[in-house]
Amino acid sequence: MTATSQHPATQWRQVLGLPVIVAALGYFVDIYDLVLFSIVRVPSLKGIGLAGQELIDQGVFLLNMQMAGMLLGGILWGILGDRKGRLKIMFGSIFIYSLANLANATVHSIEAYALLRFLAGIGLAGELGAGITLVSEVLHRSIRGYGTMIVATVGVSGAILANFVAKQFDWRTAFVIGGVLGLMLLVLRLSVAESGMFKGMESREMSKGNFLALFTSRDRFGRFLHSILIGLPSWFVVGVLITFSPEFAKVLNVQGTVSAGNAVMYCYLGLVGGDLASGVLSQLLQSRKKVVLLFLLITVAAVAVYFSAAGVSAGVFYAICCLLGFGIGYWAIFVTVAAEQFGTNLRATVATSVPNFVRGMTIPITMLFQVARKSLGIETGAIVVGVLTLVIALFSLSRLQETFHKDLDYFEEFI
C-alpha cells in the first residue's frame, strides 16, 4: 500500500512518529539558543562592563562570531551526515552547543563570550539540516511536507520559551537552562532509528558527502547557490530589523518602550504561524515554489509596513514584528527545497550547509548594514539592504526547479 492510498489516520501516525517529534524538539532547543543572544544582548553586554555604542558594535561582532561558527559547522556536520549518518550529527551537534551554553553562563570578558558563541554556532549548525534530511527520507513524498512543517513549527517556538526564560531569570541562568535542555534531549534521541535511504547507501562504493563536488558542476553549483539565496530575507529580518528593533523604534518615534526580547518573541510567533501556513499550503497546492513566492511577497509588504510605522504604539510595532515573522515563515519549505534538490549521497551536506550559509550571510548583511547606516542613516541604510536581499531571493527562486513530487531515493553522479 502506498502512502497516497493509506488512510489519513495512518499517514498522520507516520507524520507524528518519533523521528519527526525528536527532530522537532531538537530544532526547538536549537532555536532557543540561537535567538537567546539577540534577546539578552543588552543585559549580557552590560553585565560584562560594556555601555553606549559598544552595545551595538560588540553585539554585531558577537552575532557574527556565532554565525561564522554556524557557517563552518554547516559544512562539517553536512559532510559527516552523508558519511556517518543523519543521527550521529544530531547527537554531536546538540552535545557541543549544550556544553557551550553552560560555559556561556560563566563569561566575564568579550573575548570569552566571542569564543563560546563561535563554538555554540558550530554545534547549532547540525540540528535543522540533519532533522529535515532524516524526516524527508523516512516519510513518503506525498506527506513529507507535513513532517518538515512540524519540525519547523515546533522548532521556531523555542524562541518564545527563550524570551519567557530571559524575562524570568538573569541572562546567565537563561544560558544554563538552554544547556540543560539540550543534554536532556540527547537521552530521547537514543530510541530513534537511522534513515533507510542512508542505510541503503552505506555499503555502496560511491562518493559521499563530497562538499567540493558542489563546485565542480555548473548545474550542482547553481542548485546549491540559488537554494541559499532564496533564504536571504529571513536573516535580514531577524539579524537586522528584529535584533536592532529598539534602535529602529527610536528612529521611528514608536510610542513606548520596545525591547529586543519582545520583538524576537512576536517575530517568532509569526514564524510559527508562517511555517504552519506555508507547510499546509505547499501540500494543498502541491508546489514548493509557489508558496515561497507568496511568502517572499508577504515579506516585501511587511518590510514596507515596518518602515511606515512612524509614531505607532509599541503594541502596533510588535504586531508588525509578528507580520515580519509570518512573512519569513517559509523557512521549513526553504530547507525542504534544498534537501529535495540533491541525491542521497549529498543530501545531508546540502540540507545542513544551506541554512547555515544563509545564517552565515548575516555577517555580510550586518556589515553592509553597518556601512549603509553610517552613510545613509539607520532607516535608509536598512531599506537598501532589505531591498537587495529580496530582489536576490526572488531571482534565485525563478532559477530553481519544482521538487514537490520528486522521488528522493537516488544518488548524485560525480564525474
Q: Which residues of the chain have pLDDT under 50?
A: 1-4
pLDDT for 2 equals: 43
Q: Characterize 159-196 residue by residue with b for buried, 16 or more Cβ atoms within 10 angstroms of its Cβ, and e for exposed.
A: bbbbbebbeeeebeebbbbbbebbbebeeebeebebbe
- Please state the φ and ψ torsions of residue 392, each to the nearest 5 degrees: -60, -45
Query: What structural domains does the chain harbor?
Result: 13-186+208-399 (1.20.1250.20)
Q: Cβ distance 80 to 96 under 8 Å?
A: no
Q: Which one, of 168, 148, 170, 150, lies nearest residue 160 by Cα?
A: 168
Q: End-to-end alpha-carbon separation of the chain, Å?
A: 37
Q: Cβ distance 26 to 189 under 8 Å?
A: yes
pLDDT tens digits, 106-128: 999 999 999 999 999 999 888 88
What are 12's three cell numbers?
498522520
Angle (CA) 355 359 365, round 5°: 135
What are 35's three cell numbers?
535567538
Residue 67 CA to residue 62 CA, distance in Å, equals: 9
Angle (CA) 68 238 258, round 5°: 125
pLDDT for 7 equals: 59
Beta pairing partners, 392: none
Residue 377 CA to residue 383 CA, distance in Å, equals: 10
pLDDT for 1 equals: 39
pLDDT for 6 equals: 55
